[in-house]
Chain A
């Protein structure tokens, strides 16, 4: 008797697990976006492309240099994070004093250029990345691939570590204070421009790390970030811009809602997040965890 409301339990849990995995990526990506927005006041539309760069970096390291997944988990975010630092130093820092629209245009344009270049070089069909942990477990009601379980746990650890770093450490206190009043923090002797560069680098590295984790699940392709990032922006809007815990909880929560919708009413699964976003915007425009300014 493995069914509730005539939904077979294995199907339900299967979709919820898929939802949880999607949610893990929503959470990691919206976290980076929230941190970057808080500090730079720039909505980083390049985030999806940087996630893709992380996956590509891992794939290129594996296929050209035979560098295994576990090393890429460190190397790829470092490489892509450094690329982010260069972008911040060369381009973003010139537009902080301008309207949000310029940040949007610049980062969106960058995403198009980066994704265009990768599509031109490697096509859009995508390449497979072998699962670093083969096999899985039979949980009785469903089969759980080992790597997917690892992704959920890793994402949770990454999210909580980021939360801890921002909310409970000295560097995090600089970050929060500089988000509120950069001029005063700088007048206390803290090199705020360097802090901003570092924040962008870390946010980008976080996107790349998500990309590496996604590589064995998805095809590594130039456009793998474009659809995902749309959903992630909805997640950020629902959670409330600039809230760290909000991003994490909303990311995982919406993944689950999406998975659940796939079982109950599959045609709505692609839109349910945007429906939630519309409702939240009507009821609480600053987002579930955001504070109205």
Chain B
């Protein structure tokens, strides 16, 4: 059995009065790239936000590297080594590109250097003095990913990094995600675009109605394609 980095068990979450997650459970091994698949409203984004501690209320267990995080504030969770790239990207308009990139504080030694990050995203270097929100959608996405690589976090939570982007950019993001895996990052990826997910992931968890209902290893995707299409409603 490989080394488990993140273990989620019986995770429930609420936004105000609405009960969104009803006992989510899954595991990610160190260095693995795992996706959460599922239809809109299945609870994928809420699962990421619950791991990060930014939902209204949560219950159950999320252990990171053996440490329980439920009950801790999100700034403390981030300090353990979890970094979050939100679906809406969260680029700050009052900060320029470089300030956006330098914003998340280092939480552990061993993060990527700024030159490494600019090497991965040359566009960002060219535009480092521009206002963050003046970038194109693809560049903003790269900025949102780039800025969490500096911090030394081991686990990256990426929420739909390909949403709304042109196919050539999606391809580029796919290459980058594979490179990040090679560098040793553990990645939990939320995706609507299954074809994209299938090209990068080791395993897929399928969510429905606030629960994880199935797990499919990359090797079994071809023979499970009918089942997956039913799950995803495509």
| Chain A residues proximal to chain B, CB less than 8 Å | 170, 173-174, 176-177, 179-181, 183-192
Q: Give Cα A186–Cα B103 distance, bound, in whole angstroms.
A: 11
Q: Given contact pairs A173-B99, A177-B95, A190-B105, enumerate 5 new A-B contacts (beta carbons under 8 Å).
A: A186-B78, A187-B84, A188-B148, A188-B151, A190-B75
In the assembled complex, 5 residue pairs joining A and B whose CB atoms fall closer than 8 Å, in A order, are A184-B90, A187-B53, A187-B78, A189-B75, A190-B75
Chain B interface size, under 10 / 10 to 19 / 20 to 34 / 35 or more: 20 to 34
Least CB separation from B100: chain A residue: A177
Q: Which residues of B contact A190 (CB under 8 A)?
A: 75, 105
Question: Are A177's CB and B94's CB within 8 A?
Answer: yes
Proximity string of chain B (105-120) to chain A, C-beta cutoff 8 Å, 1 when within and 0 when not:
1010000000000000
Dominant SS among interface residues on chain B: loop
**CB within 8 Å of A: which B67-107 residues:** 73-75, 77-79, 83-84, 86, 90, 92-95, 99, 102-105, 107
* B207 within 8 Å of A (CB atoms): no
Question: Are B151's CB and A189's CB within 8 A?
Answer: yes
Q: Which residues of B contact A191 (CB under 8 A)?
A: 75
* B149 within 8 Å of A (CB atoms): no
Q: Which residues of A contact B79 (CB under 8 A)?
A: 189
Question: Are A180's CB and B78's CB within 8 A?
Answer: no
Question: Are A180's CB and B105's CB within 8 A?
Answer: no
Interface centre among B74, B93, B107, by most chain A C-beta atoms within 10 angstroms, is B74
Q: Give Cα A176–Cα B92 distance, bound, in whole angstroms.
A: 8
Q: Give Cα A170–Cα B102 distance, bound, in whole angstroms.
A: 8
Proximity string of chain B (28-53) to chain A, C-beta cutoff 8 Å, 1 when within and 0 when not:
00000000000000000000000011
Question: Are A177's CB and B103's CB within 8 A?
Answer: yes
- The 10 lowest CB-CB distance pairs between A and B, nearest first, are A189-B78, A188-B104, A176-B94, A184-B90, A187-B74, A177-B92, A189-B79, A173-B99, A186-B75, A186-B74
Question: Are A187's CB and B94's CB within 8 A?
Answer: no
Partner of B105, one of A179, A184, A189, A192: A189
Least CB separation from B86: chain A residue: A184
Partner of B54, one of A176, A179, A183, A189: A183
Q: Which residues of B contact A184 (CB under 8 A)?
A: 84, 86, 90
B80 to chain A, nearest CB (A): 9
Question: Are B92's CB and A189's CB within 8 A?
Answer: no
Question: Are B105's CB and A186's CB within 8 A?
Answer: no
Q: Which residues of B contact A179 (CB under 8 A)?
A: 94
Question: Are A186's CB and B73's CB within 8 A?
Answer: yes
B50 to chain A, nearest CB (A): 12
Least CB separation from B94: chain A residue: A176
Question: Are A189's CB and B104's CB within 8 A?
Answer: yes
Q: Which residues of B contact A189 (CB under 8 A)?
A: 75, 78-79, 104-105, 107, 151
B190 to chain A, nearest CB (A): 15
Q: Which residues of A contact B92 (CB under 8 A)?
A: 176-177, 180-181
Q: Which residues of A contact B151 (CB under 8 A)?
A: 188-189
Question: Are A180's CB and B94's CB within 8 A?
Answer: yes
B192 to chain A, nearest CB (A): 21
